[in-house]
Structure 1
Amino acid sequence: MADDNHTIMNTLVKSDHSLKKGRADFATAMQKMGFTSVFDIVRLPKAAFARQLAQYSDANAGLAYDNAMGYAALIARLYREHKTSCGTLPQLGQRSGIRAMAPTGPTYTKLFEENWDEFCKVEAIAAGNSPVAYLSELRVFTKQLEATSIDPKRILLDKRRPDLKNLLITEESTFTPMPMLAIIAELLESNLRKYLDGNPTDKAKPTQQILAERRYPFELPYNFYHHQCQLGLTDKKPKLGELNYRASLLLPIAQASTNHYGEVQQPVLQAQRLLSGLSPQQQALLIEPSVFSNFYLTRNDLLKGWRSAGGTHLGPHTPMNECYLLPVQQTGIADATPQAEKPVKGALGTNKVPVTFGRQGAASIPAVNLTLGSATPADAASIFFLNSLHLPAARTITSYIKAEEALPEPEENGYTAHFNLVATTGTEDAPVSLASQRFTLTLDEQYNLSAPEQAFFKQSYGIDVSQDTPLWHMTQLSDFMARTGLDAEQVEMLLARRQYAVRLSPNCPSLNPQHAGVVVPGATDKVLPFPHSNHYGACYVNGTGTGADIDDSQLAPTPESIIRDQFDNAMGLEQDKLGDIKQWRLTKTSLNRLDRLQRMVRLHRWTGIPFAELDTLIISAIRSEGVANLGLELNENTLRALGVYRYLNERYGIGPEEFAALMHDLTPYTSGKAELPLFDRVFNRVQLFDTPLILDQTPINLSATDVATHKTLLQLCLGLGVQPTEDSLLLIARQTEKHVGPLKRDLPTISSLYRQARIARLFGYTVAELLTLAGLLGGRDYKIALANGRLSPQAAAAKPDILDVLMQLDWAINWLKESQQTVAQLQQRLGPNVPLVAEEQESNPQAKMAEPAPLPDNLLNRLARLQDDTRQGVVTQDQVAALGLPAQDDATPSPKDIDWMELLISHGLLDPDGLLPGLDRSLTRVDEPAIWLKTDVDSLLKALKLSQSMKDTCAEKLVVLLLGAYDRQAQLLEGLFEETAKLPPERCTAVVHWAHSSAYSVLLAALEEPLNAELIEHFERISRHAEPAVQLRLSNGALRLFVVNPTWLGGNLYGGSSSEPSFSDLYLLERYSHWFHSQSQSEDSVLSYFSAANPVIAKLKNKALRQLASETANAALARLLEWPEAEVATLTDTLPDKRATSMAHVDWVRRCQASCSASGLSAKALLQATALNALSPLDAWKTVGDAVMAASSASATTLANG
């Protein structure tokens, strides 16, 4: 057979007798290659066989391969024919009967005598078509392919899949399906772990911790467990942060400006940060203080004199005064001479400031006197005082710094000094800070990065700054894109340049004298007119300005380029030409701006918000802080704004720029060529007037009747979706005028109006309803927040700002919808004494609207009838006399006269008008007038000298009289409120006491003539309490329980309230009604829980008794909630008494139960999720991440099983 093979191999191609030196014939080449059969040849692809043969022989590889393929096919066919036919005729089977008379036909068994012992089951591991066979063949084929090349760059299978060679072939490993992502993750983990184990600092750390700590490439930092939470809490499940709000211990029902809604175990700001969807490491990267200054001045800068860029970007729309101030008490900076911390009138001169340079670990050198001033770029000779207040002008104003004397030359490098300047506008008496600029001065010829600054570039950009890799390489567009992962178009978006250049709405013209541009030497026209990219689209990345600390240009600056850069100091893109090579670079970069760029790029990648819209969102949050963030830095408020935006965006669909306008100005800018600015999209999209709405900054007089003002108001109504009425446009206009400033056709006015109208439309309310609800929640402070959109300074217990008000409004609106109430109904139930009217009544039309309307005639008539019925229902002298009581006592020898009416009055059983003061007694769980009347009558008779039998007779008669009067007088109110409020009679007494009134005080007022205000006030207050009692279907037992024991309701957690009833009482009673009417237990079972949860003091004397009380209460609550007792105990263990002692606590447990049901988490996992914050360790995140994924898997299994 071997000879046959060799014969076939030799016939594949004709041998060449004239061989070249060093070359072999075909047969010899086959031997060297180890090929002994045509099957060895066809196992390889044709190209691979040709490459291998070419190493030994010049024979025709293609012909040989084709012939080998033919022979292989022929041999295979002959083999199959030999195996499937035996060559003999089929034998007749032993059959009987009629079947034996006919021959059998052909069958598969007769035709193909298969040897079944040579085969195995299809699903067996050893089957020829099993996954194992496929993998084995694939591995052999891959190895053969790898052997066909010697390229050192090839990635071999053992490197790509090092696990395959050690893979144990078992039934489980063969047939258990595995997601490809799991295999990839396992491979990446093993390879990464192998690399990390070689680094001593990383060897002991878990992989997930290292991924969370690293910052480069830009896909990092990556918190695996936070990502688990994000993936597991998708669709309609409440997300991190939202869980905090749903499980908040306190709700915004205190009718005060409080900021506790959203607190469980962490302050509210942590909940809002969690809503951002960013991991703690991502948040820390964004808001950590920058290690860089805005400006770096070298020795040469100080000796020659240095000028900053102008401040055109700080107020591009309006004319403004400008100056620079030097804050006092800065380290290393002495006081200026003359002073420079307050504005002064413009005057020529300079300020002398002693500056001390220092170096870490070295002694300071003597102070250096610097000259500080301000100037215009075109006038080099005229230097003004630094704090000279320059009037608005067409020339930009720059700061000026120059060494007054020769600078010292220390032996060592690295001596620096630092200070801040504040760009300021306003007046001498009322300066307004605009921006803070940080300066670093060095005595070296070139600034050398400090260790923290070098570490920043290593951690954030992955580069070691050195002589071989200077920092200016980062300004090359190709290098910048490689480091950040952006493409060229994205860089244009990031910088708002070229095809994404900024455009200003023509309907919002700038009145800044510099808006037309700047004049440069040699040019006739002004260049660089507004807008610039640091006006919109790239405000954050440009910061408060830059110097020339990165030499990103190959050309020396010229006077023209200096003026241009001082006027438009925003980063740009320029193309350099070196011969035939064209290269793009970023211009006007700086260390600080490179830091800002990497933060912005990462934030864009994490949020998916386009650069221009993202910049508008974060810069609006920054500017909304005012003087609290003069450095234009990302901080906790920025993260809060991102969190609230993402929540409202997902829930209501509000856009980034729309949300930005809720905090600051409605932007009149856009980038690109197709999109309209948001201002025009709101007010000028539909052309219904002869001219659009133009912000020319002229005053708006609401009372004017001229055509222009009327048209402006109609244009505002059309854009805002409101009406030109007192409860619509005029209402929010007065709020703006009161809390923002005089009404003008300018951005602050229009933005305030838009803010209030957009929030109302966001929640589906009118502006009147919005302001009413805001007033009910927090009074005047909340309406101010809606008008000005300010953010509070960063603090854990800061005053509620626009973000907090939005979240509280969201809660209130959802509760009103769930409880099927309107804002008007809520306002009516709370009555006139609410925070809404805590303002000046006369200047606030809305407050006037909140006052109760006069009673209609039918109710006045009904109260007049009450007066008549009360006079008829009193106990009179005749009624007492008709009892036939003894006129004298049994005293001897001189009996005394008995005045029974006087006795009844003196002992408090009656008042002089015949009313029962007992109607004023404190409410109890059960009314028992017969008992206390009998006790009081016995007390009265005890002092009389009468026989016991006579006393018993008198007592019986008096009790019958008084009890009848009690019923008769009580029924007067029962009838009144049954008729006017449809209040069932049995609930009347409880409602009257809930209203902090009594039947006696009402009837006493009814006896006065004529109808008085006191009676009307009693009636209105009780009616307000009766209405929710009826609507909520509150039983007499429930009302009495909570009125007798107000702490069992829990309204005391929210403090006092000026309204009657209070918002907290209304909410908690509504929640009780909802709880009771949504379950199968009887009301007695529900009410008895509160008694069990609040045992008498004697049953709480020691720890064991308190533990028993908590266990008993938890078990009872678990039965009522139909929830495991362990889950209830987990929650109540966080309460002060370790049990839910009030309806407020029960409501919290119920909200937690609903949150657990919506998220799939257990109570323990819910508390762990709400305890997370930016400083939580990775193990805490791992615990929550695992719980979320387990809940997600359980949910998926439940859905799959139907």
Structure 2
Amino acid sequence: MPDQAFSLLATISKAETSSATNNEGRLSFVDAMQQMAIGSVFDILRRPKPAFVRELMKFSDANGELAYENARCYATQIVRLYRNQLVSSGRAQTLTRRTGVRSLVEIGPSFPNLFKENWDLFCKVDAIEAKDSPVAYLTSLYRFALNELEGSTAEAKRINLDLRRPDLKDLMIDQQSTFTPVPVLNIVHEVLGKAIRTYVDTVQADKDKTLYQLIAEKQHPFLFPYNFHHQQVMLGLSGKQPSLGELSYRVSLQVPATAPGANAYGAVQQPSAVAQAMMSGLSPEQQLILLEPRPAVENIASFFKRKYNVDYLDDASNPLNALKVFTEKTGLSASEVESLLAVRNNTPYPSHNVLPALHSDARTYGASYVNGPSTAAAMDIEFPDDAPPRLINTSVERFDRLQRMIRLQRWLNIPFAELDTLVMAAISAEGAANPGAVLTSNTLRALGCYRYLHRQYKLLPEEFAAFLHHLSPYASDARLPMFDQVFNSPVLFDTPLTLDGSDFSLTSTDSKTIKTLAQLCAGLQLPATQDSLWLLAIDTRELIGDAPQSLKRNLSTISSLYRQTRIAAMFGLAAKDSWALIDLLGGEAWRKQVVTGQLTPHADSAAEPDILDILMQLDWAVAWLKNTGRDISTLRRQLGVDASEATIAQTVLDQLNQLAGQACTAVLSAEQLLTLDLPSDSEGQAIDWWPLLAPLINEQGLVLARPLTLIEDLGADLTQVINEQLADITFADEAIKAAAINRLMEYVLGGYLAQHRLVEGLLQSTADLPLDRSEGVLRWEGSSADQFLSVLLQATASAEPGQTEALAEALNTLLRHAEVNQQLGLSAQALRTFLVNPHWLHPTFSGPLRLSLPSFYLLDRYCDWRNNAEKAEERLLDYLSHANRTSTPTAKECAALLAALLDDSATEVEAATKIFTTHKFAQSMSQVDWLRRMHSASQQKHLANAQLLKATALSPDSAIGDWQAVGEAVMAANR
């Protein structure tokens, strides 16, 4: 470089020799400046004085402090000279044209005229080059960080800015980069992503993996694994909206009412067990960690490296035995480790009112899972006098259990003691099926159901644990055991409720039993009546074991009573109503499941429902009853589950007697045929007409009901039957035969109408049933006008009690169906349609339609559809007729017709119906109801039907692409 370029720099240091180096190989000042990339005095002043002096000493022996001060002086002089010699640009200023009188006056002195500023040196206030702009501020901070902070002192462990933010030095400063807001998280992702990518490219096994794959596979530190797409799904479905898994219940193909006693509720494309596990909020990788088998002997070292990032040789030298190392590797504090192991301040203690608990191992609470089922001493923390604290009684299996429990606690945010109670309750509910006390798919199902019920009903972990196993007789951290919280807080009697294993009876009159029953009533908040405490206690006595047994003062019996009562209270039901609802949905088998709280293997959708399935179905049933304004006792009576009194009010009895008299006059007889002037045969022989009418008239003279059809043409039907009966008789001519047939038809039809009017009048007066609904209600009940009148005539003609009871039963059954018809608001045409074609309600319905929970629900859904569709009812029924015609229609055609009735688009309907197995379009009311629920969920979630189905198809085994597609869809729907 020429000396002229450094002429000023050369003068700021003492005179030196002309040689480039001195005797010690040191550089001259000018050459040192060149090495330091300094080209002017201003470059010197941009650096802090200590940093300049320290860096100069590396190259030269020149006086750095003197050089720095001289550079400051020269820089000050240069700035002053620049300002003194500054002249205007000479560019003419644009002046505003003067008008009026002012335009006649010469412009006087002004600032622009007196001081001709060089406006090219100025900028707008909000320009990025302004000295008070954000760019100037950030540039100043950047230089301060580089020069003042990083250049002040040399530290080996310092992480420089270029290492933290390598992107800053390459950042282009322009209008967009300056004023466009960028989320900090995006910057963090970009910077960390580049750094991670740089490192990963050096690891051959991970070279081709994406960043999301890497963080999903990583298992240490314990904040991993992190599934980005699963997190997207969880965030997109958060808040008050249905979560993942819960969404499958909202759009389940079957509901408890259409599949009572089965396990179909919650299944769309995956079994309900998958939906329950998904409600836990755990990602596929997290579920895999919990369910993976314990490490094999040959994989122990890799297990500790992968899970804890420590090198393992043997149990004795395991670094995790040191408390300090264990806390560092797990991220726990010392107090959290104590809680994890249930030791020291978290040591559990038993209830003094549960005698067996006083003699059992206290580690059955708080740390039961991490200690495992072995008989070895429980883990503890040892504090030697001459060594750091350490964990004792550890093993490979226990470290495996510890890492699972620690992760699960972080993911669910449940205290260790309560989480252990919850997990062990699920394990205990499996009984002999889980002898190793390991986490299973049932554990995930239990966690999912708990989290759902906690969100919906604020259910506590130990309360839910009692749904599966026992009320806990243990506690820690100065809390009352769960048993005492329920039954002995506060103590209302002279002695608390004590469980000593002795028997007690509901009918015993001894003082101890009376007190026990009173304490149970107080703790469970139940009256000691036949339909409350007695109802639950009898079920417990009869169903808790394989055979009926005595009630005992033990945890099994008391926990069963608590379970039944708490479930009822959670759903806002009285104990008797909860019992009735469970019995309606699943009968005695379901009541036994609630009494015992057992969990069964759920390998597929064909598995028998257990307590978790029952809880989810009860949740649906309670919501349905509430939304429709019904109560369980009325519903059971209407369905005929609970028998009504076989008595008839006196006013109704008087009406029936009057009706019987009218029926006697309305019956047909052979004598009446003589008045019809019927002809003889072709040979003049008289015809015995009465036997010929046997297919139409019974022995009592009542006209028999004809098969029900969509379009009733009774005259044509009667004419056809009479014509068939006269086929073997020859008449003089066809005109005579036709006249005879017509007279017989009118005769039978007249009797039919007269007899039907009697029953129609009865139903109208007793049930307010419109006349046109009577025939449908009679057929729905499985009867007809002639059958009812036959029972009536027999009852009034006989004094036998059995005949009266038969009449009362027939009338009550008929009135039940009439009441349901009126409550649902079924039209005559709709009822006739579903009676003729019951499979239009549900594909599994065959034969005569009967009043049951499935048919009641689907008829209710039909009426709800009719009331909200704002379309003529004929269009709804016409669609079902069109979809079930003999020549199968196309899916696109049916989708277009149904979309107009659902206020949806044809493409959305067609996308949803693709999962139907037989035909790819809706053919029944159950399928239409599912489409309506799909449409409702789609509107709530702002997701298309295809996206909803993708969400319900997710499982731990789903591909990454499936999770990514759903995650992006739900996030886009929330923007």
By the TM > 0.5 criterion, same fold?
A: yes
Cα distance in 2, alignment partners of residues 658 and 95 from structure 1: 88
Inter-CA distance 9–1109: structure 2 relative to 1 (3 Å threshold): same
What is the CA-CA distance between 1:1014 and the residue it aligns to?
3.4
What is the CA-CA distance between 1:924 and the residue it aligns to?
0.9
Cα distance in 2, alignment partners of residues 498 and 1056 from structure 1: 69
In the alignment, is the contact (CA less than 8 A) between 2:778 and 2:784 conserved in 1?
A: yes
Partner of 2:284: 280
Matches within 5 A, 1:512-523: 515=359
Partner deviation per Cα, 1:317-349 (whole Å, 9 max, x = no partner)? xxxxxxxxxxxxxxxxxxxxxxxxxxxxxxxxx
1:483 aligns with 2:329: yes
Q: 1:1176 aligns with which of 958, 961, 968?
A: 958
Partner of 2:637: 828
Matches within 5 A, 1:279-298: 279-291=283-295
Task: Name the stretch that deviates more: 77-86 or 642-651.
Answer: 77-86
Q: 1:931 aligns with which of 688, 712, 716?
A: 716
Partner of 1:153: 157
What is the CA-CA distance between 1:676 and the residue it aligns to?
2.1
Cα distance in 1, alignment partners of residues 134 and 858 from structure 2: 64
What is the CA-CA distance between 1:998 and the residue it aligns to?
1.9
Task: Name the stretch that deviates more: 1128-1137 or 160-169.
Answer: 160-169
Partner of 2:20: none
Cα distance in 2, alignment partners of residues 723 and 967 from structure 1: 55
Cα distance in 2, alignment partners of residues 94 and 855 from structure 1: 108
Inter-CA distance 100–721: structure 2 relative to 1 (3 Å threshold): same
Partner of 1:544: 373
Partner of 1:897: 686
Partner of 1:808: 617
SS of 2:213's partner is helix
SS of 2:220's partner is coil
What is the CA-CA distance between 1:1126 and the residue it aligns to?
1.8
Inter-CA distance 932–482: structure 2 relative to 1 (3 Å threshold): same
Partner of 2:486: 682
Partner deviation per Cα, 1:55-102 (whole Å, 9 max, x = no partner)? 88999979998x99999999989988997999xxx9999978654798
Matches within 5 A, 1:415-564: 450-466=297-313, 471-510=317-356, 515=359, 532=362, 534-545=363-374
1:1016 aligns with 2:808: yes
What is the CA-CA distance between 1:486 and the residue it aligns to?
0.7
Matches within 5 A, 1:263-412: 263-291=267-295
Inter-CA distance 1073–9: structure 2 relative to 1 (3 Å threshold): farther
In the alignment, is the contact (CA less than 8 A) between 2:88 and 2:117 conserved in 1?
A: no
In the alignment, is the contact (CA less than 8 A) between 2:357 and 2:473 conserved in 1?
A: no
User: Could you tell me which amino acid in structure 1 is paired with residue 855 of structure 2?
Assistant: D
Partner of 2:776: 990
In the alignment, is the contact (CA less than 8 A) between 2:51 and 2:151 conserved in 1?
A: no
Cα distance in 2, alignment partners of residues 546 and 594 from structure 1: 16
Cα distance in 2, alignment partners of residues 204 and 926 from structure 1: 70
Please, which runs of 5 or more residues in structure 1 have no aligned partner?
Answer: 12-20, 293-449, 516-529, 548-568, 833-848, 1101-1107, 1194-1202
Task: Name the stretch that deviates more: 491-500 or 699-708.
Answer: 699-708
SS of 1:913's partner is coil
Partner of 2:18: none
SS of 2:391's partner is strand
Matches within 5 A, 1:803-1202: 803-832=612-641, 852=645, 854-877=647-670, 879-883=672-676, 885-886=677-678, 889=680, 891-892=682-683, 895-900=684-689, 902-903=690-691, 905-906=693-694, 908-917=695-704, 920-939=705-724, 943=729, 945-1008=731-794, 1009-1010=797-798, 1011-1050=803-842, 1052=844, 1060-1096=850-886, 1099-1100=887-888, 1108-1135=889-916, 1136-1193=918-975
Partner of 2:17: none
In the alignment, is the contact (CA less than 8 A) between 2:826 and 2:863 conserved in 1?
A: yes
In the alignment, is the contact (CA less than 8 A) between 1:889 and 1:944 conserved in 2?
A: no
Cα distance in 1, alignment partners of residues 897 and 568 from structure 2: 43
What is the CA-CA distance between 1:110 and the residue it aligns to?
5.2
Inter-CA distance 53–785: structure 2 relative to 1 (3 Å threshold): same
Inter-CA distance 854–52: structure 2 relative to 1 (3 Å threshold): farther
Partner of 1:589: 394
SS of 1:586's partner is strand
User: Could you tell me which amino acid in structure 2 is paired with residue 909 of structure 1?
Assistant: L
What is the CA-CA distance between 1:1026 and the residue it aligns to?
2.0
SS of 1:1078's partner is helix
In the alignment, is the contact (CA less than 8 A) between 2:233 and 2:966 conserved in 1?
A: yes
SS of 1:583's partner is coil
What is the CA-CA distance between 1:817 and the residue it aligns to?
1.4
What is the CA-CA distance between 1:590 and the residue it aligns to?
1.0
Partner of 1:371: none
What is the CA-CA distance between 1:679 and the residue it aligns to?
1.7
In the alignment, is the contact (CA less than 8 A) between 2:647 and 2:805 conserved in 1?
A: no
Partner of 1:571: 379
Percent identity for Structure 1 against Structure 2: 43
Partner deviation per Cα, 1:455-482 (whole Å, 9 max, x = no partner)? 2112111123248x97432110000011
Cα distance in 2, alignment partners of residues 537 and 39 from structure 1: 69
Cα distance in 2, alignment partners of residues 869 and 1028 from structure 1: 28
Partner deviation per Cα, 1:864-910 (whole Å, 9 max, x = no partner)? 33322322221245543344x14x62645xx323444x25534x332
Inter-CA distance 1007–118: structure 2 relative to 1 (3 Å threshold): same
Task: Name the stretch that deviates more: 819-828 or 868-877.
Answer: 868-877
Matches within 5 A, 1:2-21: none
In the alignment, is the contact (CA less than 8 A) between 1:218 and 1:485 conserved in 2?
A: yes
User: Could you tell me which amino acid in structure 1 is paired with residue 874 of structure 2?
Assistant: D
Partner of 2:121: 118
What is the CA-CA distance between 1:291 and the residue it aligns to?
2.6
What is the CA-CA distance between 1:1109 and the residue it aligns to?
2.6
Cα distance in 1, alignment partners of residues 204 and 36 from structure 2: 47
Task: Name the stretch that deviates more: 811-820 or 246-255.
Answer: 246-255
Cα distance in 1, alignment partners of residues 966 and 725 from structure 2: 70
Please, which runs of 5 or more residues in structure 2 have no aligned partner?
Answer: 15-23
Partner deviation per Cα, 1:735-766 (whole Å, 9 max, x = no partner)? 11122253232211211111000000010001
What is the CA-CA distance between 1:489 and the residue it aligns to?
1.2
Inter-CA distance 701–70: structure 2 relative to 1 (3 Å threshold): farther
Inter-CA distance 1124–259: structure 2 relative to 1 (3 Å threshold): same
User: Could you tell me which amino acid in structure 1 is paired with residue 303 of structure 2?
Assistant: F
Partner deviation per Cα, 1:556-579 (whole Å, 9 max, x = no partner)? xxxxxxxxxxxxx1111111222x
Partner deviation per Cα, 1:891-946 (whole Å, 9 max, x = no partner)? 45xx323444x25534x3323322112xx211111221122223334445662535
In the alignment, is the contact (CA less than 8 A) between 1:625 and 1:792 conserved in 2?
A: yes
Count, aligned residues: 946
SS of 1:1007's partner is helix
Cα distance in 2, alignment partners of residues 914 and 824 from structure 1: 40
Q: Which has the higher helix share?
A: 2
SS of 2:470's partner is coil
Cα distance in 2, alignment partners of residues 1189 and 1082 from structure 1: 39
The TM-score normalised by the length of structure 2 is 0.89
Inter-CA distance 932–732: structure 2 relative to 1 (3 Å threshold): same
Q: 1:143 aligns with which of 140, 143, 146?
A: 146
Partner of 2:447: 642
SS of 1:573's partner is strand
